[in-house]
Amino acid sequence: GNSVTQMEGPVTLSEEAFLTINCTYTATGYPSLFWYVQYPGEGLQLLLKATKADDKGSNKGFEATYRKETTSFHLEKGSVQVSDSAVYFCALSDRLAGGFKTIFGAGTRLFVKA
C-alpha cells in the first residue's frame, strides 16, 4: 500500500542555517506530492506541491523536487528564520478505486533559534 516516511524530529537549527527534511514515499500509481506546514495553534496549510516526476515545488524560500527514481520529496531551505518554527508534514495523494486518498507523514517539528 501507499505510505510516507519522513525524518523524525525535532530538528533544531540556528537562524540562517540550511534546512533539509527528508521524505520518501511508496505508491502504486503516480501520486501528487505535498508539503504542509502547521504553525502553533493552527490547522495545516499547503506549503508547496509537485504533481509529476521532476517537478519542483517552491514557496517562501522552501523547495522540494519530485524524484521518482529515489521516491523522494525532500524539503529544503537555504536560510531558515525563527518564524519558520513549525511542524512540517509530507503527504501524497493518489487516485484509488472510488476516488483520491491522501496519506500524511508523521510530521517533523522544526525549532529555529535566534
Separation of alpha carbons 28 and 85, rounded Å: 33
Task: Give the C-alpha separation, 22 to 67, whole Å.
Answer: 12
Q: Which stretch binds other proteins (CB under 8 A): 17-25, 44-52, 59-67, 68-76?
A: 44-52
CB of 104 to other proteins, least distance (A): 5
The three grid cell numbers given for residue 18, joined into one nine-digit string: 540550511
> Measured between alpha carbons, how far is 88 from 104 in angstroms, rounded to an integer?
10
By CB under 8 A, residue 40 contacts other proteins:
yes
- Footprint of other proteins (CB under 8 A): 32, 34, 36, 38, 40, 42-46, 49, 51, 87, 89, 91, 93, 98-100, 102, 104, 106-107, 109
